Amino acid sequence: MMPLTSFLKPPTQQLNRNRFPRGLKEIPSPPSQLYCVGQLDICLGPKIAMVGSRAASWHGLQFAEALAGQLAALGFVVVSGLARGIDAASHRGALAVGGKTIAVLGQGCDLVYPKQNQALYQEVVREGLLVSEYPDGTGPKPYHFPARNRIITGLCDALIVVEARTRSGSLISAKSALAQGREVFAVPGPVVAGAASGCHELIREGAHLLDSITDLLREMPQLFQHVQPIQAALPTTDPPAGQVSTNNHQDLLALLTAGPMVFSDLLANFDGTIECLVAALAHLEVSGQIEHLGALYQLRMQAR
């Protein structure tokens, strides 16, 4: 473990239970206090937790990073545990698009574990939030991580298990999420390798199958009512040919002539994918034809 210097890590803030996000206050056996480093205000946004195997496959890592990037680009905060594998890929995906991420640790915020995640740890400190129920100087213990899982799920609105075997600790997170009343999604995988056997078990037991972000929208449309796609993640140039057309732009402008709309309503009436919608919104916003205030998109003339 490598302690970070004060130059790299801002001071740790102590958060008492009365300052927890509401969902975390309501879980069974909530922590008495949290130690945090970074941007506390990101706890207020819609949050999706992503967990999975530490020894994930290449395909699992790629899927996790891409999905986290899509979620973060739409304005969701990605929550995970800063472990190897799926956790690290999820944090990287969110940060890569300029999004926000929360890392819940099984040790004090001043210690890096595992050590190969030091660069990622520092990036989360700069751009996101570290959370732990253990004070600075506390090293990782095996029993810290199952306890940590209840905080991950307590912070989130929904949990996605990307790749997990039957005995994976991610299934503990999934059961914790279900006990807390959270929706659980699991990503299926090849049967032969067995890397996703735990995900298949969760699906058999009632978890929602997820193979794209559209499945999240279908099952939990209310989550998309208040998201605000982040400008940093939106393309500043025209997307590749075929991804979005002038017709998409005109369709969006026509929708907005009826009045301001939230993202989920736009998507419900848009003839295209989430990615195409985000690209079209970016084009229209950069060109000055629309703007968004809070969760609402509107024609720029409507704000006058």
Query: pLDDT tens across 195-226, in order?
Result: 899 999 999 999 999 988 888 888 898 887 77
Q: Which residues pair with 297 in a beta bridge?
A: 261, 292
pLDDT top residue among 5 and 129: 129
202 and 250 in a single domain? The answer is: no
Tokens encoding 32: 């008495």
209 and 251 in a single domain? The answer is: no
* Average pLDDT of the chain, as a whole number: 86
176 and 50 in a single domain? The answer is: yes
**pLDDT digits over 218-251, tens only?**
889 888 777 777 754 544 444 444 444 677 888 8
Separation CA 251–CA 247 (nearest Å): 6
Q: What is the pLDDT of residue 7?
A: 40
23 and 133 in a single domain? The answer is: yes
180 and 241 in a single domain? The answer is: no
Check which CATH number belongs to the domain holding 58 and give it: 3.40.50.450
> Which of the four pLDDT bands, split at 50, 70 and 90, describes residue 70?
confident
Q: What is the pLDDT of residue 245?
A: 64
192 and 251 in a single domain? The answer is: no
**pLDDT digits over 120-169, tens only?**
999 999 999 999 999 999 999 999 998 999 999 999 999 999 999 988 88
- Split into its structural domains, the chain has a count of 2
Give the domain-ending residue among 224, 256, 282. 224
How large is the greatest C-alpha to C-alpha distance in the chain, in angstroms? Answer: 60
pLDDT top residue among 201 and 265: 201
**pLDDT digits over 17-47, tens only?**
999 988 899 888 899 999 999 999 999 889 9
Separation CA 117–CA 101 (nearest Å): 15
26 and 169 in a single domain? The answer is: yes
Instruction: Check: pTM over 0.85? Answer yes or no.
Output: no
Find the domain containing 98 and state its range: 2-224
Residue with tokens 């740790």: 12
Check which CATH number belongs to the domain holding 286 and give it: 1.10.10
Residue 168 lies in a domain: yes
10 and 108 in a single domain? The answer is: yes
Give the domain-ending residue among 224, 257, 288. 224
Separation CA 105–CA 108 (nearest Å): 7
Give the domain-ending residue among 224, 249, 276. 224
90 and 158 in a single domain? The answer is: yes
Q: Which residues does 5 contact at the CB level (< 8 Å), separation at least 6?
A: none
E-strand stretches of the chain: 2-3, 13-16, 33-38, 47-51, 77-80, 101-104, 111-112, 129-132, 158-161, 183-186, 208-209, 261-262, 290-293, 296-299
251 and 114 in a single domain? The answer is: no
